[in-house]
Chain A
């Protein structure tokens, strides 16, 4: 189990749960990120900047700050797992 801040870039993960307050969770749901979804990090900013998280199923990408990325708990979903 890991969180989106520590994802290997390009590797698929399945969201187990999303932590944090109601505001952040509702926002992520509305943007199309829910527990059970397959996601991957496609870009990471320098100097502890944000990451771009892509929902592999819907094709939606969002940039999220590291603090929020940390709240997205997931497990690897490829053959290496």
Chain B
């Protein structure tokens, strides 16, 4: 699926505008996730054929403006500036058009061919906003196509307009700013020497230079083009003095007023006679007293459903595996071939029977919570508690996603503005029991000790994270900038979007983890058949037997636990050479608890480690591994002494 010459169509818009839903409706199952060269940044792209033309469509993280505050926004902008898209598709939320247009105006300044996708038209109608689409298109000077992403409505028209944009080429930059600002911008642009590298065009470059404040390219100009630097300083000072506000505010205010003006000219707001049901629901969801029981019910419900769905599904799926294993034993005897075949069966079976029953429902439910807009509300409710732990409400959403899988949770820390918050959250996320660990907790603790123990395990785990957070924030004393988090309108999630979201994550799991799982099982099988496990167990026995008081056969399982946490469970049965139901004959209940605690905590799994490295650097990844190991040893030892 490579077409290097295909024109690049960039989806860009503010967060929560339904951009990804729109992209998913276009790209469907064919979308590819790939790394952006030079950075560790992921974007999704897909080739789309419209009227025989192949387009390379790229979906970027949402961004509020061209001046990034967090990493997710930086990703979007790096792309915009490096990729030089052939056409921009600016997705706007029609239900909050007045605000969204401010960014549209900023994007228009790039002068690239652009189409505005007026998304969420249905929600806008519900809110009583009527948009005069032709008038808006005239006012902006670009095609405006109404879309309802969730139903795939307007997509064809959108791409037809994009293709037309390709043929017509760049837009003339439209002067949108007030007279004096426009004069200053053009005055600076006229002073540009010919050799100055431009971003998009002269006017855009001038706007960015003035607006970005003293950090942007100032050093470069001071050394290479001192005259221009002086002119830039004069322009900034003059504008700032005239309007009696910082220069960035001059531009923000100008765009804001223009956006409001366009909104008033092209939209009619019928005031709804009474408040919408969603707003009344929000009163309850965000209520200082009612909000918390609801949040607790939602989270408990989440685990209840997973337990209720996952547990029976797991035993139902595990049964044929046991039969297969014994048949393999009869047919192949006990040689190398048996160990390989058994490894393959265990690997495939582990993926199907242990991971899917828990992983799939968790993915589905977290995707639902996200799309409904509840994660942001949970962030609001928990902010005050998070503050006491040295974090704030924006970290809640990575934490909740972490229950599904730590990897997307680490990526989600990009929405945090400060590096301190990002690193702190990234260090804590690996302590969240992800679905792989949930399988272990349920299979070992809930099954052999009872559900109350499993729940206790979770509570203990959360308290541990809280304690660690307090402890770690002692080392990063600098003040967290405080919460600024948009609360998107409550929405009924689109089934297709949720399904696609789950599908993408599931596909990534199957592609990445399953081969590891199967290879891991086969290798362990081989190691066992050649008695190599005894060597590994011997090496690890001071830790496993000495510190943790576990059978030393379990040493080898820890190594596989680093590959995938759930492997530890599979390998445990294999290493102890015992059937799941007869586990208690070889290991005591106390040992089960210590093993579960240690395996849950001792190291982030390989995928988490890699994503930590990519997102926050080598130091943080190793710090996380060291921290996990230290915490796991200390806690396991304490638990062992207490029980």
* Cβ contact of B99, chosen from A27, A47, A58, A64, cutoff 8 A: A58
Binary per-residue interface labels of chain A (34-69) against chain B in the complex, 1 for a CB within 8 Å, 0 otherwise: 110000001111111110100101111111110110
Residues of A within 8 A of B379 (CB): 63
* Cβ contact of B67, chosen from A26, A61, A65, cutoff 8 A: A26
Complex Cα–Cα for A62 and B380 (A): 9
Once the chains bind, are B282 and A63 in contact (CB under 8 Å)? no
* Cβ contact of A27, chosen from B69, B97, B381, cutoff 8 A: B69
Given A43-B380, A57-B98, A58-B96, also A31-B484 (CB < 8 A): yes
Once the chains bind, are B249 and A25 in contact (CB under 8 Å)? yes
- Tell me if B95 counts as interface (CB < 8 A to partner A): yes
Once the chains bind, are A45 and B384 in contact (CB under 8 Å)? yes
* Cβ contact of A59, chosen from B95, B213, B292, cutoff 8 A: B95
Residues of B within 8 A of A79 (CB): none
* Cβ contact of B64, chosen from A31, A49, A52, A57, cutoff 8 A: A31
Given A42-B286, A58-B98, A67-B482, also A49-B69 (CB < 8 A): no
* Cβ contact of B287, chosen from A34, A43, A47, A64, cutoff 8 A: A43
- Tell me if A1 counts as interface (CB < 8 A to partner B): no
Within 8 A of A (CB), among B374-432: 376, 379-381, 383-384, 387, 392-393, 417
Once the chains bind, are B67 and A64 in contact (CB under 8 Å)? no
Chain B min CB distance to A17 (Å): 9
* Cβ contact of B380, chosen from A26, A52, A57, A60, cutoff 8 A: A52
Taking CB as reference atom, which chain A residue is nearest B483? A65
Complex Cα–Cα for A58 and B417 (A): 24
* Cβ contact of B253, chosen from A32, A34, A63, cutoff 8 A: A34
- Tell me if B481 counts as interface (CB < 8 A to partner A): yes
Once the chains bind, are B286 and A43 in contact (CB under 8 Å)? yes
Once the chains bind, are B380 and A50 in contact (CB under 8 Å)? yes
Q: For A48, A60, A62, A64, which residue has the most chain B Cβ atoms within 10 angstroms?
A: A60
Complex Cα–Cα for A32 and B519 (A): 52
Chain B min CB distance to A72 (Å): 11
Apart from the given pairs A24-B484, A63-B486, 5 other A-B contacts in the complex at a CB distance below 8 Å: A30-B69, A45-B288, A47-B384, A48-B384, A63-B379
B residues with a Cβ closer than 8 A to A are 64-65, 67, 69, 95-99, 102-103, 127, 213, 246, 248-249, 252-253, 256, 260, 282-283, 286-289, 292, 376, 379-381, 383-384, 387, 392-393, 417, 481-487, 489
A residues with a Cβ closer than 8 A to B are 22-32, 34-35, 42-50, 52, 55, 57-65, 67-68
